[in-house]
Structure 1
Amino acid sequence: MSTQPLRRRLLLPALYIAAAALGGCGTAPEAIPPAASAEALASELRVLVFRGGTAARLGHNHVLRAGDLHVDWPAAGPVLRFRLDALAVDPPALRAALGEGFTSAVDDEARAGTRANLLKALESASHPEVVVRTVHQVGEGARRAVEAEITLHGVTRRQSFVADVDGRRARGQVVIRQSDFGIQPFTVLGGLLAVQDELVVQFELVQP
């Protein structure tokens, strides 16, 4: 049996905020890719989605990038919002930058199929926007303990994580679970192919 149709069916129900390249299924990320230069610095949010299932090697890890990320910076800390229908799925340059674990090729047809399945799974017509609102920060130096409210798929959850903050710039990562937001992680063929419940969200924020 050809593995290509299976790859194309590997859905990425995913969203969110902050973390780094993964060398394979189920292992923890180690580092966020280098920040942009000062001249090119702009806010960016990426979501890493990891393959699972008994035949995980037939699928891909995936990366989503918020295409219309908006950042406000009230006194409590940054508020981000982006639309699910503006997510970029597996941009080749970003996959290359993530390195090991993201080196497999994903063609245009597979990206289009993944995008369509993703928007359907996230019910983007009913819940088109993701919002992350800083609630509280602890710390006096660059390293902060942050608590934020994440609204996704019509569900709002509080999440704690660590971020590096310098004035109105912030950088960090967070692990979230799809199931916490009422999203059923994708599986097909009795668990032969799946995506893992945990998503890694990486963010680099700047307020001009």
Structure 2
Amino acid sequence: MYDPRFRPLVATLLAAALTAGCAGTPARPGPTASAAFPADAYRALAADGTVYRLDPAASSLQIIVYRGGPLAEKGHNHIIEARDFRGLVFLPDKGLDEARLDLAVPARGMVVDPPAARSAAGGAFAHPLNDEARTGTRANMLGPQVLDAGRFPQIAVHADDIRGALPWLVVRTTVTLHGRTRRLTVPVEVQAGTEGLTATGRLVLRQSDFGITPITAMGGLLRVQDTVTVAFRLVGRREGKEG
């Protein structure tokens, strides 16, 4: 049985996973307008390589959070999906020096524990959560104590430091959320062709690595584990082509 007292635990951890450590400061940042998406920059680069537009419908971007503690069975593991996002990738014809990525994720486009995702994951995630539990968790996630989507409606990811050699790349990203920016290095497998691109990767993050104390309840008998996982498979279509 889901206990609504535990909804803030999940929402707070989600913010931690997405920001890579930009939550949990005492001072609240001032309102910030979302930066314009840099589509013009990609149009200028297109003559020297290939631009791919990410397709949210064909992609998967999930944040996975885990229950913990002696009474872990009283809580739930959770899958948060980002479904509504905008993204562009540029791969130059020669080398990777000018390669770049931009991704914009509206906070309100994220979905909490979609039944199909839980069923596909199976195992400890197989049991579906009811609509009341999912709605309550999402409301807390978007509220002023966590993502504060009314003031900071967009999560932005930018990368222009991309190394390695296809298909194995090391992507150093800049993540901006809730008025703060952090750097995060991500290993990514990229399959790129004339018509499309697929980028696949998985991150393991610890809240404590970023100065965040994992949320606990009932004197620590129920808690969210320090470790969270971000899993993605991003599909891009070549700009200017039907796909």
Partner residue of 2:225 out of 181, 191, 196? 196
The structural deviation recorded for 1:176 is 3.2
Q: Shift of the alpha carbon at 1:165?
A: 0.9
* Matched residue, 1:12: 11
Post-superposition Cα deviations, 1:146-176, rounded to whole Å, max 9, x if no partner, equal: 2111122322111112111122321111133
Would you say 1:104 and 2:162 are equivalent positions?
A: no
1:49 and 2:65 aligned? yes
Judge conservation of contact 2:10–2:65 (CA < 8 Å) in 1: no
Q: Considering only aligned residues, what root-mean-square deviation do their CA atoms show, in Å?
A: 2.6
**Higher-Rg member (1/2):** 2
Following superposition, the deviation at residue 137 of structure 1 comes to 1.9
2:204 equivalent among 175, 186, 208: 175
Larger % of helix: which? Answer: 2
Instruction: Determine whether 1:159 maps to 2:184.
Output: yes
Residue number in structure 2 paired with 1:27 = none
Q: 1:199 offset after TM fit, Å?
A: 2.5
> Which residue in 1 is equivalent to 2:45?
none
| Other structure's SS at 1:118 match | helix
Letter in 2 for 1:42: A
Contact 1:153 1:182 in 2 (8 A): no
Unaligned runs of 5+ in 1: 18-39
**8 Å Cα contact 2:101/2:160 also seen in 1:** no
1:89 to 112, 116, 138: 112
Matched position secondary structure for 1:123? coil
Report the CA distance between 1:145 and its aligned residue. Answer: 1.7
- Partner Cα separation in structure 1 for residue 104 and residue 211 of structure 2: 19
| 2:220 partner letter | G
AA aligned opposite 1:5: D
TM-score by length of structure 2 reads 0.66
**CA apart distance, 1:100:** 1.2
Q: Provide the rounded CA distance (Å) in 2 between the counterparts of 1:137 and 1:96.
A: 35
Give the AA of the match of 1:114: T
User: How many residues in Structure 1 have an aligned counterpart in Structure 2?
Assistant: 184
Kindly provide the CA deviation profile for residues 36-87 of structure 1, in whole angstroms up to 9, marking residues without a partner as x: xxxx972321111111233212111100111212111134232211111111
Amino acid paired to 2:72: A
Distance 1:76 1:66 in 2: 24
